[in-house]
Amino acid sequence: MFKSTLYKERRENLKKFFKHGVLLFLGNQDSPANYPSNCYKFRQDSSFLYFFGINEPCFAGLIDIDNDKEIIFGNDVDMDDIIWMGNQPTVVDRAALAGITETYPLEELSSYLHRVQQQSKVHYLPPYRTANCLMISEILHINAKEVIAKRSLELINAVVALRSTKGKEEIEELEKASYIGYKMHTAAMQFCKLGVKEQEIAGILDGIAASYGKMNSFETILSQNGETLHNHYHNQIITDGRLLLTDAGAENNMNYCSDHTRTIPTGGKFTQRQKEVYSIVLNCHDKAVELAKPNVTYLSVHLDICKQLVEGLKGLGLMKGDTEEAVAAGAHALFMPHGLGHMMGLDVHDMEDFGQIHVGYDQETRPSNLFGTSSLRMGRRLEEGFVVTDEPGCYFIPALIDKWRAEKMHTNFLCYDTIETYKDFGGIRLEDDLLITSNGARFIGEKHIPITIEEVENYMQDYK
């Protein structure tokens, strides 16, 4: 945990958004995988972690603005727990580490809320786990189907305002998570050898995430079919002449995340055709760090990167026509059907549980309905301390190419005859995490994961 003063300060900052009311934060519970005592690895709710820091199941935190109270609800362990889990700190001890002195058993949460609910509004964030949805339904007497609709927009907006800007201590944790990402991605480069099964490499990466931190920040994406954006099937054997796309990250021991993608030549050397497309994506990746800075919208950075992509693809004879018009029409989305990036912090897609529109957009910057740009998770103006991913890609998705060609989509901009010849290409994505500074942006991660063609080939050569 961080020092208790930091959690107190965060809660004080949160309270400034409210004159009245009760702010309820439910921590997560253990989640059974196949029977109640065999659970998935525990993952605490990120907002609960942010304001209360307790990284154990079955706690709730409450900020009662009207009565000027901060309370932790949770249960001390009993003898049975001690026998199976060992001695545990008391609820009082755990609360003290978060700077809170008032605690009650979890069973009293319901009656406390029942009392205050008569005079005050109880604000809560939208639950994303059924157990917490049912708990809110029960303790606040709300029909389970209405729990999400009745979440507090005021609380969402206040928490987004605070969690979006990363403090110095958070950036240090993100750097640690990025170091684990470095270990994972360089391991992929070391262990990518002809004849090896993709699953073996993916397993090594997941082991690194677990051995240096808490866990993966999301399920590892690793495949020679990188044109499938989130490909979790690792069942192929590494064969020569292909590209291996690995999108993987870790949570460090404080649950801060990393999210990097590299695409490497399976035999250690890029072919000429691979080099050409790779260079275009790398230029896009590098341009984003030049463009991103405070007061610029990430939507405009995304669109500039799409234009850069179109320019490159025109050079290869894959696109034609006016670049601005092609991007405005959405023709580039055949090759990059996703957004440039998302917020990152305690969640790999930070705060996505609140609904992306509240995190990545605002009154000024509204989401787009255009295919491709509609997948951009972060569009609003950047501010110092924001952390966003920079993840351009270029993919040749045979089913999408066939569909668009049959529908004569964007024939002014797309050179379908040439595109046909790339249907066996796969996909390339390059991803790093950007910290917005006072006058620009920098990549998080002191250790640089090889990314230029030369760096990747030289690194892989060393492990041949």
Interface contacts to ligand GLY, rule CB under 6 A:
218, 247, 259, 342, 348, 391, 431
Residue 173 contact, options Mn ion, ligand GLY, none, Cβ 5-8 Å cut-off depending on partner type = none
Contact call for residues 252 and 180 (beta carbons, < 8 A):
yes
Handedness of CA 126, 132, 134, 140 (dihedral sign): negative
Q: Looking at beta carbons only, is 46 or 132 nearer to ligand GLY? A: 46
Q: Residue 327's binding partner, choosing from ligand GLY, Mn ion, none, with beta-carbon cut-off 5 to 8 A by kind?
A: none
Nearest approach, Cβ of residue 205 and ligand GLY (Å):
13
Query: How far is 344 from 283, CA to CA, in rounded Å?
Result: 22
Give min distance, CB of 428 to ligand GLY, in A: 14
> Angle at Cα 192 formed by Cα 188 and Cα 193, nearest 5°?
160
Nearer to Mn ion (CB atom), residue 261 or residue 368: 261
CB nearer to ligand GLY: pick between 99 and 372: 372
Tokens of 128: 């994303």
Question: Beta strand pairing status for 38-39 and 32-35?
Answer: antiparallel
Min separation Cβ 341 and ligand GLY, Å:
8
Q: Which partner in ligand GLY, Mn ion, none is near 304 (CB below 5 to 8 A by kind)?
A: none
Which three-class secondary structure state does DSSP give residue 297? strand
Check: CB of residue 434 under 8 Å from CB of residue 292.
yes
User: What amino acid is encoded at 292 in this protein?
Assistant: A
* Alpha helix stretches (DSSP H) within 361-462: 398-406, 416-420, 453-462
Which of ligand GLY, Mn ion, none does 218 bind, CB closer than 5 to 8 A by kind? ligand GLY
Quote the CA–CA distance of 449 and 437 in Å, as a whole number.
21
Helix 130-140 with 108-117: angle, nearest 10 deg? 50
Cβ 387 to ligand GLY shortest distance, Å? 13
**Identity of the residue, 247 or 457, whose beta carbon is nearer to Mn ion in the bound complex:** 247
Residue type, 388: V
Return residues touching Mn ion (CB under 5 A).
247, 259, 389, 391, 431
Least separation in angstroms between CB 258 and ligand GLY? 10
Smallest gap from residue 57 Cβ to ligand GLY (A):
25
CB of 136 to ligand GLY, least distance (A): 28
Q: Which one, 310 or 343, has the nearer CB to ligand GLY?
A: 343
432 touches, from Mn ion, ligand GLY, none (C-beta below 5 to 8 Å by class): none
Distance, CA of 177 to CA of 193 (rounded, Å) = 26
Whose Cβ is closer to Mn ion: residue 94's or residue 262's?
262
Q: Compute the distance between CA of residue 266 and CA of residue 260 in angstroms, rounded to an integer.
A: 18
By C-beta, is 74 or 392 nearer to ligand GLY?
A: 392
